Amino acid sequence: MYYISVPGAIAACVALTWDNFTGMGLVPRLIAMLVLAIVLQELLARYLAPEDLGQDVGFRPHEPRPKDRKRTGKLIAIIVLAAASVVISFLAWLQTERFVVSAERSEQNGVQTLTISAAWIEATRVDIRLPPPPVQCDIEEKGASFTEVDWDQPDRTLQINVFVSPQVVTIKCKNAAQLGQRGFIVAGPADGPYFSSDLKWFSIIIFVMGVVTWGYGVIRLRQQ
């Protein structure tokens, strides 16, 4: 009953506080996922630990020996712990790929390109400060609604309203400095912006933590 009630309570808490959870920044969400992974590995290690089997009495050639059964039980437990780590790591990866406003920069033939992709969580507004005139900037959008604020002024801003996946906005500016340096603000539940280089580091960290939490589960399994 203990092994059912604790995960059930955790799931209920996540469901009741989902809006608060998704409203947190990426780093706090990943820390929460790490804590959940450790708790899950601890519970699984206790539940899956093979029982100590006494020595069989008599000659039974067709049945596996107690040591063999215990070794098989631990192997199955290690595989289950690895599967749990993969699932948690995948959910953490989703946090970095689908729950944040992401951006990608590129340059070709003197044209700076900034592509902004919306998250699964709605961003109330996204403000992007662009290079001042006379730099020419073209805006392409897929399903997004935007407003050009002070477009002829030095502090001109592109304002994207109610930004949510699968909306995408692409900005192309000729002979401009690196886009996104002058100001990039995301307002609302969605977190960001995170550039592709940042997300790669998060992915590496998530992989490492997945291996570490699996190792923790294996150690706890051996201690049972």
User: In the prediction, which pLDDT does 52 show?
Assistant: 60
Q: Are residues 117 and 165 in the same domain?
A: yes
Q: By residue range, what is the domain housing residue 6?
A: 2-56+63-98+200-223
How many folded domains does the chain comprise?
2
Closest CA to 170 of 179, 161, 181: 179
In a domain, 194, yes or no: no
User: In the prediction, which pLDDT does 6 show?
Assistant: 52
Residue ranges in the chain whose pLDDT is less than 50: 1-3
Residue 57 is encoded by which pair of tokens?
A: 């009495």
Q: Are residues 77 and 20 in the same domain?
A: yes
User: Quick one: DSSP state of residue 160?
Assistant: E
Q: Are residues 76 and 51 in the same domain?
A: yes
Q: Are residues 77 and 14 in the same domain?
A: yes
Q: Are residues 107 and 49 in the same domain?
A: no
User: In the prediction, which pLDDT does 150 show?
Assistant: 87
CATH number, domain containing residue 137: 2.60.40
User: In the prediction, which pLDDT does 38 show?
Assistant: 92
CB atoms within 10 A of CB 144: 20
Cα gap 210→91, rounded to integer Å: 11
User: Quick one: DSSP state of residue 62?
Assistant: T
Q: What is the pTM of this model?
A: 0.73
127 near 182, Cβ under 8 Å? no
What pLDDT digit, counting tens, does each position of 23-70 carry?
678 888 888 889 989 999 999 998 888 766 555 555 555 555 566 677
What backbone phi and psi angles, to 5 degrees, belong to 54?
-70, 165
Beta bridge partners of 113: 106, 172
Q: Are residues 109 and 172 in the same domain?
A: yes
